[in-house]
Amino acid sequence: MHLFTYGSLMYPAIWTRVVAGRYRAMKGVIREFERRRIVGESYPALIYGTGTVEGVVYCDVATPDLAALDRFELEGEDYRRIEVSVTLADGVELSASTYLYLREERIAPERWDPHRFETHDLPGFIATYCRAHAPGRRG
């Protein structure tokens, strides 16, 4: 199964803390979604919308790693894994899973800023969220 990531999992420093396997990664975009800030968090919410969201697709993710990703994303609690169509940089479309945010009351009106996450929030996210939700992996 392919997995489209749009937030913290786009960054190798996070991805390698969650999964054991090595996967081919490609840039892609999904349509009719928005990436928003979550009140009080540094990671984003993906919601249905009218925009496009850029991200990274990891190809052929193994079942044990998918289970680890579901735990990391609190699948069924905060997020639900759904199927989306991803357009790659070369125009090829493929089907992938991604995580849709479920807690509407926590979604801020502002878009999530990947540059701010990478340059400002990433170390703290690793020290807190990753330590709590991916304790067995250290990429």
What's the number of domains the chain is made of?
1
**Residue 117 domain-assigned?**
yes
- Residue pLDDT, tens place only, 55-106: 999 999 999 999 999 999 999 999 999 999 999 999 999 999 999 999 999 9
**What are the counts of helices (DSSP H) followed by strands (DSSP E) for the chain?**
5, 6
Write out the residue range of the structural domain in which residue 89 sits: 3-129
Is residue 45 included in any domain, yes or no?
yes
What's the Cα-to-Cα distance from 139 to each of 46, 57, 71, 122, 135, rounded to whole Å? 25, 19, 17, 14, 11
Q: Is residue 124 part of a domain?
A: yes
- The one-letter code for the residue type at 46 is L
Evaluate whether residue 139 is within a structural domain.
Answer: no
- Reported pTM: 0.94
Question: What string of DSSP letters covers 23-63?
Answer: --EEEEEEEEEEEEEETT-SSEEEEEEEEEEEEEEEPS--H
60-71 residue pLDDT tens:
999 999 999 999
Q: Is residue 138 part of a domain?
A: no
Could you tell me if residue 137 is inside a domain? no
Q: Do the Cβ atoms of 19 and 72 come closer than 8 Å? A: no
134 lies in some domain = no
Asked whether residue 135 is assigned to any structural domain, the reply reads no
Write the CATH number for 116.
3.10.490.10
